[in-house]
Amino acid sequence: MRVVIDKYIPFVQEVLSPYAQVTALEPEAITAAAVRDADALIIRTRTKVNSSLLEGSAVQFVATATIGYDHIDTNYCEEHGIYWMSCPGCNAQAVCDYIEECLRELAVPEHSTVGVVGVGHVGSLVAKMAERKGYRVLLNDPPKNIGQSIGEIEEKCDVITFHTPITRAGLYPTYHLCDADFLRHCKPNAIIVNAARGGVVDEAALLTSGKRFVLDTWENEPHINAAVVMRAELASFHIAGYSVEGKSNASQMCLDAFSAHFGTPILSIDKKVVSLHANYGDSATGWLRRVSDQLKAQPDRFEQLRKQYKLR
């Protein structure tokens, strides 16, 4: 059995190697030619999984070690009998910690009102954290019939943080949910935070709105708009969920699905190996400001900075 994986997914190669021929590649090297003879792919958001990649291949299993899966053409996979899975909730705590650091770094006063748009794995943790820190919290999640209207979020919130998937169809599309009209109805000093998916926030509208903002996810990644970077209060290179715990959770979920699909023995990541990575990166107070300074100094190196980021 042959498995192609993104080389930046930790722990997987070592666990899978006794059961499969594992090829770990740079994301840009995961091409149609590279996967033609592969039985399985384990990838991240940088790999677009569609007919261009999979047509004529032997791939029957696709796992993305991420919460989001808009980079996977799920219809194509299902029509061709290719099993696919994502890892919902794997890095929810890490993203929550990112939002907590935003609130601390921006010195958002206690008793301010925080609006949480999208109340899934991440949003629910963010809401509990904000309440614990003394903020008033308003929720908005129409698909779940939770919380207030988006109009109330716009009108009443001092901080609005987005935790939705990116969707362009259906009753509640989220693409450019935060657009010029949304921003126009927000409080003058409102802070917009997007650590969800690039495109949930309309960056062109954000630039001209005069609003304060923090972005971890961007439109057109990795080719981001440097002008938006420089205007941001804090800017990071899509690493809100990049913690040792989050990465190991995602890797284990992919391995569990692989084992169930191919009938291998239980595949478990050695907790001792994970513990060796703990506290490897910068998690001291002020870490987000330091990340932001890096990106502002070199916005054209977004992808390189992301690859080099040491898990906190």
Hunting for tokens 């939770």 — which residue is that? 146
Strand partners, 201: 178
Q: How far apart are CA 211 and CA 209, in angstroms?
A: 5
Q: What H or E segment, with its residue span, contains residue 235?
A: strand 234-235
Please identify which residue in the block is written with the tokens 């992301």: 306
In this structure, the strands spanning 83-85 and 113-117 are unpaired
Element (H, E) at 6: strand 2-6
Q: Which two tokens stand for residue 70?
A: 């808009």
- H-state helical runs in the chain: 12-16, 32-35, 51-54, 74-79, 92-105, 121-132, 150-156, 180-185, 203-209, 226-231, 244-262, 271-277, 287-297, 302-308
Instruction: Give the residue carrying structure tokens 């949480």.
Output: 116
Q: In what order do the strands lie in the sheet with 159-162?
A: 146-147, 136-141, 113-117, 159-162, 191-194, 212-215, 234-235
User: Among 94, 95, 73, 87, which residue's Cα sits nearest to residue 42?
Assistant: 87
- Residues with a catalytic annotation lie at 197, 221, 238
Distance CA(273)–CA(269), nearest Å, equals 8
